[in-house]
Amino acid sequence: MTTRLRTAHTADLTSAELGAVRALLDDAFEGNFSDEDWDHGLGGIHALVRDERGLAAHGSVIQRRVLHRGRSLRVGYVEAVGVRADVRRTGLGARVMAELERVVDGAYGLGALSASDEGVALYAARGWQRWPGRICALGPDGVVRLPDEEGSTFVRPVATGLDPAHELVFDWRDGEVL
């Protein structure tokens, strides 16, 4: 089966392409992909893999801010990674991630993502590291600890200086913060 990879900013995707991405993600997450999840994956760079049947895999990387050790870091945050059910475990997820990692490594000081149970093996095999420290968000009322995100947050440090003794404080957003 022949596949083609395309990388594009959200602004360069047509409404039909965005509709195909949303449908793929709704299917891949078995209906557990909210409007907020969808919004979180927009506004950045998308990696799309197509085959003869249409869209087969997708992921995006968007910019976020993280406070760490008194610094505000520009983070490439991986979102909305999904593969069509009939082509899972064929390397398309790794192909999407390789392209997103190229973007993260070239444009950001840090990569981050929140892994589902199903995604942990893919990310760990690619060198993403589980963040062993605290995870927080800077919310409307100040810093809020997110203990449910601890253990599922992975980082890809491009620059040095991360210290798990100090928390990662992510920017706030609607829905699930991470």
Domain carrying residue 18: 4-171
User: Counting every residue, how long is the chain?
Assistant: 178
Domain count, the chain: 1
Alpha helices in the chain, H assignment, sequence order? 15-28, 35-40, 92-107, 120-125
State pTM to two decimals. 0.94
Tell me if 21 is assigned to some domain: yes
Query: Residue 113 is part of a domain; what is its CATH number?
Result: 3.40.630.30
Q: Answer whether residue 176 is part of any domain.
A: no
In a domain, 108, yes or no: yes
- The single residue listed with the structure tokens 């557990």 is 32
User: Quick check: is 31 in a domain?
Assistant: yes
Report, as an integer, the average pLDDT of 121-149.
Answer: 94
The C-alpha angle with vertex 107 and arms to 102 and 110, in degrees rounded to 5, equals 85
Residue 177 lies in a domain: no
Q: What band does 159 get if pLDDT is binned at 50, 70 and 90?
A: low
State how far the alpha carbon of 159 is from the alpha carbons of 137, 156, 162, in Å: 21, 9, 8
pLDDT at 178: 78
Average pLDDT, the chain: 94
- Residue 178, in any domain of the structure: no
In a domain, 139, yes or no: yes
Residue closest to 171 by CA, chosen among 112, 107, 100: 112
Top pLDDT among 27 and 161 is at 27
Inform me whether the pLDDT recorded for 117 exceeds 90: no
DSSP 116-142: -TTTHHHHHHTT-EE--S-EEEEETTE
83 lies in some domain:
yes
pLDDT of 160 > 90? The answer is: no
